[in-house]
Structure 1
Amino acid sequence: MRQTVSEAPPRVALTMGDPAGIGPELTVRLLATPENLHKAEVYVLTDAAELKAVAAEVGVEVPVADAPTPGHAVLVGSDLPGRPVERRTVSKAAGERVMADLLKALGLYRSGTVDAIMFTPLNKGSLHLAGMHEEDELRWFAKNLGYEGTTSELNFIPGLVTSRVTSHIPLKDVAARINADSVLAAIRLLDDVLKGSGIAAPRLAVCALNPHAGENGQFGREEIEHIAPGVEAARAQGMDATGPYPCDTVFIKARNGDFDGVITMYHDQGQIAMKLMGFDRGVTVQGGLPVPIATPAHGTAFEIVGKGVANLGPSQHAYDLAVALGRRNRQG
């Protein structure tokens, strides 16, 4: 019997991340876990020689096939295979390999081959040497997809997700980027992604910008003039959003289970709390793009490359999210 779109497994493109870091190790360990290759069709951006070498170093075996087969990965190659890259260091060569693989993964999405993308850790220094000069990978992805809609990095730990109104910009520029429309867009994006991950009615908290939520205008008027109107607009559209809350207490409520997601006004407002609560379990999703893209929220960990001790937890969580969001993407 032929599978319908709703029954067919999601299709995920998987890159090995920065070859100088722990990404290759994490990749083969994911692929060597049998249940992972039954959750989705996995298209890996490497060739047989590279995969075999990494798997041998890690001490695992990865089953591969020439076409989608349950329990096997499909190797689609890299546009820069076999290029020498010095391990445990930032380099242009490493950044070029990463960018080539990500561009090819985007091409697989455009061609209808995959429904989601996952990449293991990258190094921003190497990416900048290779010519990526956007604020972050999210803006680079948006540019290469020709996407001009609302985007935000979403950070996941088990039981809680954050989105941001602003992200990789100087603190002095944050207030000017906050308005009712940008707050509403960040709320809507988080609400939509949480629904896609399986939460039917997400409970969302919105952070204030100023200390004590502005103290009724004494410490700033962003809460009164911009953030609260954005929250009200979201509620008028049926979203369960409340706030603005002082950011020094809202994560206590979120940790206790009062909220499924928190919308923050700038990068560290949420990241400090999230990394304290779940650094070894965190995942970043490139939110808002037409294709779901997930990655573990940690870095390339040069200090443990080759030791076989990298924590697989965040990568497994990122893979599971890519599968779940890819399934939703495929079903339309």
Structure 2
Amino acid sequence: MESPVIAPVIAITLGDAAGIGPELIARLLSQPGITARANIVLVGDAWLWQEGQAIAGQSVTTQAVNSLADVRQRADRSLPAFLAVNTIAREQVQRSQAQAACGAAVLKVLNLCMDGAKAGAVDAICFAPLNKQAMKLGGLKHEDELHHFAEYLGVTGYFCEFNTLGDLWTARVSSHIPLKDAASVLSQERIVAATELIYRSLQASGNANPQVAVAAFNPHGGDGGVCGREEIDIIEPAVKALRASGIPVDGPFPADTIFLKARDGLYQAIVTMYHDQGQIAIKLMGFSKGVTVQGGLPVPITTPAHGTAYDIAGKGQADVNATLNAFKIAQRMGAARLQTA
């Protein structure tokens, strides 16, 4: 007999009101069978949800709920639930611009969803694209949303963003810092933590035994110390420690060839040393399909890797593929979290 489908509660948000998020969510929730493996609750402003459907040329029937706590109790989850909240008025939004009101609204909705996760009402969160400038104008105190999530959820351990493309996931030892500072934060401990985290997260998303590759830091992998010693002094000892702990990991590999190995299927995860080392490659490989996973948090949080696309906002041109992929990862990780709770 086929095992019953585990249906995690997934909270979905509309993203920045001035961008393509509302349109993307309308396209996502109009996909056939979208509620088959998840108990979906859309959280956002009613007028913005209506506008997103109009832009996408879709009409999605939802079931109103009064709180996130009501979602799991629904007898019928064949329709997405909709929790209407008032965070921003239509007249406050000027499409295709970063605005404080939009950023504040995004923060309010995300915090509400995280409150639901802390209360046990939400198993995963999938958010439509946001704009960091708008969020900082609207009150974000951190360098990015991941650090806000970590503080809000009380994370004390290691956390980092993953960027994914199909079966390939990437992690990075440093993220949204100036490139000149990347060497100063490179350490054996951070490499070990990033590798362990992406390995466990891939397992939670359904890959039982992912193979991991670690990137070098310097050109040509340091050329044996001629072009930098980070590989010898930091990265190689980290790889040896990881192998000793039982994680299937290889490297360090020069950054200009490591993605060729992954493209050919040898590795399902790459740990890079700084932001653009992995971002450039993975976005070239599939910009319209990539997903960002917020790694190391107590609740899975995913989003399409592209941004708010202000240049095409309101034009009905948004590609839903990355958002659909983000939802699928949230579903798999949410189901795993629910199963082990």
What's the TM-score once normalised by structure 1's chain length? 0.95
Which stretch shifts more, 41-50 or 235-244? Answer: 41-50
Which stretch shifts more, 64-73 or 305-314? Answer: 64-73
Q: Contact 2:22–2:51 at 8 Å: present in 1 too? A: no
Which AA in structure 1 matches 2:87? Answer: L
Which stretch shifts more, 12-21 or 83-92? Answer: 83-92
Shift of 1:201: 0.9
Note the alpha carbon deviations across 1:25-65, whole angstroms, 9 max, x for none. 00111112231122211111125454334323422121212
Partner-residue secondary structure (3-state), 1:281: coil
Q: Contact 1:34–1:71 at 8 Å: present in 2 too? A: no
Q: What residue number does 1:262 align with? A: 270
Residue from 4, 8, 28 that aligns with 1:10: 8
2:41 counterpart of 1:33: no
Q: What residue number does 1:123 align with? A: 131
Which AA in structure 2 matches 1:74? Answer: A
Shift of 1:79: 4.5
Residue from 62, 75, 87 that aligns with 1:80: 87
Distance in 1, Cα, partners of 2:259 & 2:44? 40
Unaligned runs of 5+ in 1: none
Distance in 2, Cα, partners of 1:7 & 1:126? 39
Q: Contact 2:9–2:122 at 8 Å: present in 1 too? A: yes
Residue from 227, 231, 248 that aligns with 2:239: 231
Q: What residue number does 1:214 align with? A: 222
2:108 counterpart of 1:108: no
Distance in 1, Cα, partners of 2:82 & 2:247? 42
Which AA in structure 2 matches 1:60? Answer: Q
Unaligned runs of 5+ in 2: 65-70
Q: Contact 1:63–1:71 at 8 Å: present in 2 too? A: no
- Do the aligned partners of residues 17 and 38 (structure 1) sit closer, same or farther apart at CA in structure 2, a change above 3 Å counting? same
Identity of aligned residues (%): 44
Equivalent positions of 1:38-53 (< 5 A) are 38-53=36-51
Shift of 1:99: 0.6
Distance in 2, Cα, partners of 1:226 & 1:50? 49
Shift of 1:271: 0.5
Distance in 1, Cα, partners of 2:280 & 2:323? 20
Partner-residue secondary structure (3-state), 2:335: helix
Distance in 1, Cα, partners of 2:334 & 2:262? 27
Distance in 2, Cα, partners of 1:292 & 1:95? 22
Shift of 1:82: 3.5
Q: Contact 1:95–1:128 at 8 Å: present in 2 too? A: yes
Q: What residue number does 2:102 align with? A: 94
Q: Contact 1:92–1:129 at 8 Å: present in 2 too? A: yes
Note the alpha carbon deviations across 1:133-165, whole angstroms, 9 max, x for none. 312111111111121211111000013110001
Q: What residue number does 1:154 align with? A: 162
Equivalent positions of 1:127-146 (< 5 A) are 127-146=135-154
Pairwise CA RMSD:
1.6
Partner-residue secondary structure (3-state), 2:250: strand
Which AA in structure 2 matches 1:72? Answer: L
2:315 counterpart of 1:307: yes
Which AA in structure 1 matches 2:155? Answer: Y
Residue from 323, 326, 330 that aligns with 2:334: 326
Q: What number of residue pairs does the alignment pair up?
A: 328
Distance in 2, Cα, partners of 1:275 & 1:48? 33
What's the TM-score once normalised by structure 2's chain length? 0.92
Q: Contact 2:46–2:85 at 8 Å: present in 1 too? A: no
Distance in 1, Cα, partners of 2:5 & 2:329? 18
Shift of 1:331: 1.1
Partner-residue secondary structure (3-state), 1:43: strand
Distance in 2, Cα, partners of 1:246 & 1:309? 38
Q: Contact 1:46–1:81 at 8 Å: present in 2 too? A: no
Distance in 1, Cα, partners of 2:174 & 2:259? 18
Note the alpha carbon deviations across 1:227-284, whole angstroms, 9 max, x for none. 1111111111111001111111111111111110100000000011101111111100
Distance in 2, Cα, partners of 1:253 & 1:54? 40
Which AA in structure 2 matches 1:124? Answer: K
- Do the aligned partners of residues 79 and 111 (structure 1) sit closer, same or farther apart at CA in structure 2, a change above 3 Å counting? farther
Note the alpha carbon deviations across 1:271-322, whole angstroms, 9 max, x for none. 1110111111110000011111000000111121122110000000000000
- Do the aligned partners of residues 189 and 222 (structure 1) sit closer, same or farther apart at CA in structure 2, a change above 3 Å counting? same
